[in-house]
Amino acid sequence: MAVEQDVSKKLDEAQMGAAFSQPSAYPTTDQFADDSIATEIAFLLKFGIGRPTLEAATHRAAHFQISAADTLIAYGAISESDYARCCALELGIEFADFTSEMVEPISQVPDPETLLQMARMVQTQEHRDLDVIAQQFDGRLVNLAPDMRKLSAFSFFFAKYPNVKHRLRIATLRANKESIIRRCRNSLLSTAVHGLREQLPQFSARRVITVAQAIILFVCLQVIAVIAFLSSSTVLFGAHLIASTFYLGCVGLRAYCALQLDSVRKWNAHIEQRSHNISDSELPFYSIVVALYQEQTQVPDLISSLLKLDWPHEKQEVLLVCEEDDADTIEAIQTYLAGLRRPHISLITVPFAEPRTKPKALNYALQLCRGDYVVIYDAEDRPAKNQLGQAANRFANEGPKLVCLQAPLMIHNHHESWLSKMFAIEYSALFDGLLPTLAHSGLPLPLGGTSNHFKKDVLNEIGGWDPYNVTEDADLGMRISRAGYTIGTLTAPTLEEAPIALSVWLKQRTRWFKGWFQTWLVHMRHPIALAKDLGFKGTLIFHLMITGMIISSLVHPFLLYFIGSWIWIHWAKGLSTAFSNPLFLFDFVTIMGGYIAFSVLALRTMPQRNLQHLTIWLVTLPAYWLLLSIAAWRAAWHLIRRPHEWEKTPHRLQGLQLQKT
């Protein structure tokens, strides 16, 4: 993406506010206006904004096909409030720095569907649309956020309705948007909490288990109890064999991904080579959403990192989403933004409501997003500068079926503890091996919880996130595939922080496993429908990635116990007698195959992230997988006792930036 660096530099240097004397104190706009300055900002010459600044803004606006006023505001040459004041003086209308709920806001803000009856911003040359103000708001006060590119429309309007002028006030887009949010907060909150359950109730995890599932589970337990009474060894053998088979399936999937890695990398390189970069004028509007909770220490570095993204500020918005009662984080954001003068970054506060989960906050913010594309980051994330550009190019080049892209997550603090080292190895195998291979084959894949890029219209179509699923990313990945769409992967990474304390790690993994339990229960409510939606291969991957992951984690310590006890018993007789038992041999091959397959996949991906020095730590894989089993069993208990509780993972990342890759 060719960014006009010289223009940006001029605008960044123009950190000035307007002088708010009466316009008559300056020469008229007509004396200065020419083709080098856009109409919407030419009148600012009368208020002390220099010609070089206005010309630079005009040049950049023409290059990116955006509003010159937005360019001035985005780069701090004039604040949004000061620009609105100048507009008010130019039009001879009073300025309002606040839009109350008693005032009708008219602006460019795209409202939620429940607000579509509101009048839209008067920014069209079709004069019939101007009748909206006079007819719909007769007798009421209206706050107008004007688009000064339509000065002729305003002139026509005031000539046609001279008596309406006293009912108008000029306000900022931000003031009007905040008014709409305050007015509709209950509707926004209701949609965030109940939207998926009302739109696609079969996919909501609000009910942990359905009546039909409970009946089937009860019948199965009764049948197993009867068989166990008649022949306990038969039940043990059957359960043992089923569990080991699922475990072996997961082994096979990792082995397949390790073998396919070269072809996947060639395919990704081919995709990037054949893709043409979209022009700057075609760049879509991007909504960047970050959900924060008790993350006040992350705010400065987070915003600094987002400001470095290689994407025009005028074609993006950053929504920092906080729970209403998170006073410390809200204060940190407000304090930092107060002196920043970057209006494309805003704070969204989510009213208190259960469940208190990240997906609920994301659903609330989604209704306020203006972007064609939406990307989700976490507070500790530091995305590569070129990540948005790479995602936009992929979306533009690969057709309508591709609706989501997952960027790889890289653990930056792998040097801090054994847990963070193993976390880094695990993420390397997952995001550089497993997920790209599934994407290459067009198969469903569970998303990571962050750095997901979406087409917003499709995200709305499939119901957004499930606020009751505590691992909302895995569920959303499956719903995307079931709706007939595909998911791709990127190569531009996001830096992520791994927990270094066992207590923190255990809570995080418990939440993840609990969400996988929820995802399995939701999508297995109608197994036949699942098979029809995903097809044979997709259904197989669902069971290997979700069912297999759950079962293998739960049974792993029992398999180890069985192998260890059998070897102990037959040690004196010679190990050859132990291997004469087919079940022992099957389990031994399964367990060792699991370690080997994961290690091979990790070893093939680790050099891509310069993690070769962590190879020695693969010998501790059995201990790490035992911890995963503890988290899985803890999750099963939590699913019964507190299924929708979100255990918070604290982060400490500070002062870290990721350079463009």
User: DSSP per residue over 440-498, as a string?
Assistant: HTT---PPPSS-EEEEHHHHHHTTS--TT-TTHHHHHHHHHHHTT-EEEE-SS-EEEPP
Identity (one letter) of the amino acid at 533?
A: D
DSSP structural state of residue 67: -
Same domain, 351 and 234: yes
Burial class (CB in 10 A: 0-12, 13-18, 19+), 233: exposed
DSSP conformation letters of 515-535: HHHHHHHHHTSSHHHHHHHHH
For residue 83, is it within any domain? no
d(CA 59, CA 16): 19
Spans in the chain with pLDDT lower than 50: 1-8, 10, 12-33, 108-138, 653-661
Domain end residue (candidates: 51, 78, 105): 78
Same domain, 291 and 170: no
For residue 188, is it within any domain? no
CATH code at 644? 3.90.550.10
Which structural domain range is residue 60 located in? 5-78
Same domain, 68 and 107: no
Identity (one letter) of the amino acid at 585?
A: L
Largest Cα–Cα distance of the chain, in whole Å? 106
- To which residue do tokens 């930056």 refer? 412
Helix (H) or strand (E) holding 85: helix 80-91
Separation of CA 543 from chain center: 25
Q: Where do runs of H (alpha helix) occur along 137-231?
A: 151-160, 173-183, 185-199, 211-230
Angle at CA of residue 430, ends 452 and 379, nearest 5°: 40
Same domain, 179 and 269: no
- Sequence-distant (6+) residues with CB within 8 A of 37 are 45, 51, 54, 55, 58
Contact 466, 644 (CB under 8 A): no
Domain end residue (candidates: 78, 106, 129): 78
Same domain, 150 and 203: no
What does residue 254 show for φ and ψ, rounded to 5 degrees?
A: -65, -40
Identity (one letter) of the amino acid at 279?
A: S
Same domain, 215 and 252: yes
For residue 189, is it within any domain? no
Contact 533, 200 (CB under 8 A): no
d(CA 465, CA 204): 9
Question: Structural domain tally of the chain?
Answer: 3
Left, alpha or beta for 610 (phi > 0: left; psi -120 to 50: alpha)?
left
User: How crowded is residue 117: how many other Cβ atoms within 10 Å of its Cβ?
Assistant: 8
Contact 633, 446 (CB under 8 A): no
Contact 141, 167 (CB under 8 A): yes
Same domain, 271 and 139: no
Contact 295, 377 (CB under 8 A): no
Burial class (CB in 10 A: 0-12, 13-18, 19+), 582: exposed
**Nearest partner of 148 among 92, 71, 69, judged by Cα:** 69
- To which residue do tokens 């046609």 refer? 160
Same domain, 234 and 146: no
d(CA 380, CA 358): 14
Angle at CA of residue 660, ends 659 and 661, nearest 5°: 110
- Sequence-distant (6+) residues with CB within 8 A of 648 are 293, 294, 507
Helices and strands of the chain, counted as H and E runs: 25, 13
Same domain, 61 and 126: no
d(CA 87, CA 81): 10
What does residue 487 show for φ and ψ, rounded to 5 degrees?
A: -120, 135
pLDDT of residue 574: 66
For residue 623, is it within any domain? yes
From residue 256, how far is each of 336, 537, 608 by CA, in Å?
A: 48, 14, 19
Identity (one letter) of the amino acid at 516?
A: W
Contact 498, 424 (CB under 8 A): yes
Domain end residue (candidates: 183, 206, 222): 183
User: How crowded is residue 341: how many other Cβ atoms within 10 Å of its Cβ?
Assistant: 17
Same domain, 12 and 133: no
- Sequence-distant (6+) residues with CB within 8 A of 338 are none
Same domain, 64 and 93: no
Contact 556, 250 (CB under 8 A): no
Same domain, 278 and 379: yes
**Is the torsion defined by CA of 618, 620, 622, 628 positive or negative?**
negative
Q: Could you tell me the two tokens for 147?
A: 């688009």
User: How crowded is residue 213: how many other Cβ atoms within 10 Å of its Cβ?
Assistant: 14
